[in-house]
Amino acid sequence: MADDDFEKADTDAGANSKPIVRPPNGSALPMNVIEYRDSLIQEYHKGAASIIDRIRKTNKDDSSSLVITLIEEVVKETDHLLGNELVSAHNGDLRDSSVISFKRAEVLEKAIKAIQTRMELERISGLDVDSPAMSIIFRFFFNKAKETFNRMNVGTEISDLFFSTYGEVTENWKKELRDTYEEMKFQQKPGA
């Protein structure tokens, strides 16, 4: 349903399609709507001016992390739509509730397609760090490391220190592994 459909439905229902924006201090004085909107966006992104700025602050601005964050943002929006749908239904606005429900289904469909596209790209590239197989591989090597410490009779303190430190060193392992994989893939291409 296009935005025009919403406006037409609101007009037919006698609703005001231009909401009055009130400043956060509660006063009835008009406020610059653009500034107010920007301040709400910054508040939503916890101090960042936009989703891109928020991603850059986390140092996870590679394309894969960006896609994941955007998919998460789209999925989060479905919760906002669900909340609006439930509020409308609770208020007896079944038409609005139905329209929001339809929009939510469209957003979910787009999110599913985005996830499928991401999975297909990872399948083609040969590396899916989020796959269950990756978890099995990590567990296998962690168990082998633990077995090695046991055979060396180094005691639990050394083993615990190793795994604790290893956890810190590999905090951003997915991004680092993707980057390393891409570098190695590029180096292995003929003529590179």
What is the chain's pLDDT, residue by residue, as a tens digit (192 residues)?
Answer: 455 666 666 666 555 545 555 556 665 555 677 888 888 888 888 888 888 888 777 766 666 677 778 888 888 888 989 999 999 999 999 999 999 999 999 988 988 888 888 777 767 666 777 777 788 888 898 899 989 998 999 888 888 898 889 889 988 888 888 788 777 776 765 554
Q: Let me know whether 37 and 64 are in one domain.
A: no
Q: Which amino acid is at 40?
A: L
Domain span at 140: 131-171
- Is the residue at 54 inside a domain? no
Q: Let me know whether 122 and 137 are in one domain.
A: no
- Is the residue at 82 inside a domain? yes
Q: Let me know whether 124 and 135 are in one domain.
A: no
Which among 129, 158, 184 is the end of a domain? 129
Q: Let me know whether 125 and 135 are in one domain.
A: no
- Is the residue at 30 inside a domain? yes
CA separation, residue 2 to residues 34, 73, 124, 148 (Å): 23, 21, 35, 62
Q: Let me know whether 141 and 96 are in one domain.
A: no
Question: What is the number of other CB atoms lying within 10 angstroms of the CB of residue 113?
Answer: 10
- Is the residue at 18 inside a domain? yes
Q: Are 74 and 110 in contact (CB under 8 A)?
A: yes
Cα gap 123→19, rounded to integer Å? 46
Q: Let me know whether 71 and 116 are in one domain.
A: yes
Nearest to residue 99, comparing CAs of 88, 91, 108?
A: 88
- Is the residue at 50 inside a domain? no
Q: Let me know whether 77 and 111 are in one domain.
A: yes
Q: Let me know whether 68 and 32 are in one domain.
A: no
**If DSSP codes are grouped into helix, strand and coil, which group holds residue 126?**
coil
